[in-house]
Amino acid sequence: MKLMLFATRVVALVLITWQAAGAAELTEMPANPKGNVLIYGAYGYSGKGITRFAADYGITPVLAGRNAEKLKAFADEVGYDYIPLSLDDNHERIVEVLRGFELVMHIAGPYTFTSKPMIDAALVAGTHYVDLTGELHVIEAQLARHEEYVKAGIMVMPAVGFDVVPTDCLNYYVAGRIDNPTTLQLIMNNEYSSAEGAAASRGTIKSGIEMLSRPLKTRQDGQMIEMTQPKVITQEVNGEERSLVQIPWADMITSWVSTGVPTIEIYQIASGGELPGWLPWLLRREWGKNLLVWLVDNFFPEGPPPEAQEKRQTQLIATATNKRGDSASAEMITPEPYLLTFHSALIVANRILDGQWEAGFQTPAGLYGADLALEIPGVTRRDL
């Protein structure tokens, strides 16, 4: 028995050493990009989560990020090759790196600062691009460049995480069940216990700060229009009267692209933990924004702990209506948003590597259909 235990330990040690020895800094890029995936922002909370599941999807990524030390430490841990790469004033080098890859999974945010330099380089290098952004102004800017992506023969698909894969798929599903839908309403029910740990990663909070420091918008009659306050309504949810607060979810752009439905409203069940009214005022001041980012970087946990990822679930309810008064509703239950994101991003990456891509700005349900979300472990859907 002792001998077996010893032998198992030796094998484990050899495997770990072999894995670590497998991590090397890439100085020359692969000559043929086919099948190669670069994960940029790999040592962030979500980058790590995605990287750790990559092998389950048959993907052997190369890791990248701006901090060489943090990147090497994580690459050594997981055994993948890596490339330190800054996004600041570095266009030529980013192009040179991307030329070696068929797909870049861009996992570094806030995307307010990171999306454009990566897309600028992807256009020149001919590399497909996916990211996790939920920042509305970023997605609007990405959508505006659709023709450039078509000309370059690349696909740009933002928001391949919790925001927006399940919601886009559910919206697309209900919109397809009635004629000429004119309104989509999506309700998100995710009241987590704070005792289980953080609900969001630092990167998500900092991206939220970027969004809240800009005008609030809503999709109405085909246009994105500014509003002063988020709408608050009362509606029956799961047989109970609940107060719902409108949230700036990216579906207002992505589900509009996927479905063409002109009015889209996303609500969250009010839980008493809503953002204070003075927060947007503070965030529209540069010093206020900097102060909050500093607090997040120094005092907030990196993200939900693994136990919370395993335990939490989210309920989504989407309803499509039309001018005739027809309506269709469906419910989706999803795993915890970050755990879902790790899987959904890799599922989309695999589709692209399989040749299922279309040049231009694309959305998850628009390109892959409503059932894409059902491929994510733990996701279920039922008609209401």
Ligand X SMILES: NC(=O)c1ccc[n+]([C@@H]2O[C@H](COP(=O)([O-])OP(=O)(O)OC[C@H]3O[C@@H](n4cnc5c(N)ncnc54)[C@H](OP(=O)(O)O)[C@@H]3O)[C@@H](O)[C@H]2O)c1
Instruction: Return residues touching ligand X (CB under 6 A).
Output: 41, 43-47, 65-67, 87, 107-111, 113-114, 132, 134, 159, 161-163, 201-204, 207, 302-303, 337-338, 341
CB of 210 to ligand X, least distance (A): 9
d(CA 225, CA 216): 8
Q: Which amino acid is at 61?
A: P
Which one, 77 or 182, has the nearer CB to ligand X? 77
Here the tokens at position 152 are: 């370059």
Contacts 24+ apart (CB under 8 A), 322-327: 322/178, 322/179, 322/180, 322/181, 322/182, 322/183, 323/180, 323/182, 324/179, 324/180, 326/178, 326/179, 327/178
Give 77's contacts (C-beta < 8 A, 6+ positions apart): 20
Q: Which is nearer to ligand X, 61 or 109 (CB)?
A: 109
Shortest Å distance, C-beta 326 to ligand X: 31
Task: Give the shortest CB-168-to-ligand X separation in angstroms.
Answer: 11
Q: Dihedral of CA 39/45/51/53: which sign? A: negative
Cβ closest to ligand X, residue 135 vs residue 181: 135
Q: Which is nearer to ligand X, 90 or 350 (CB)?
A: 90
Name residue, tokens 């380089």: 121
Q: Report the nearest approach of ligand X to the CB of residue 106 (Å).
A: 9
Residue closest to 247 by CA, chosen among 260, 258, 231: 231
Residue 179 Cβ, how far from ligand X at the closest point, in Å? 31
In terms of CB distance, is 66 or 289 closer to ligand X?
A: 66
Of 170, 208, 190, 111, nearest in space to 376 by CA: 170
Q: How far is the CB of 72 from ligand X (least distance, A)?
A: 13
CA atoms of 294 and 287, how far apart (whole Å): 10
Q: Which is nearer to ligand X, 57 or 113 (CB)?
A: 113
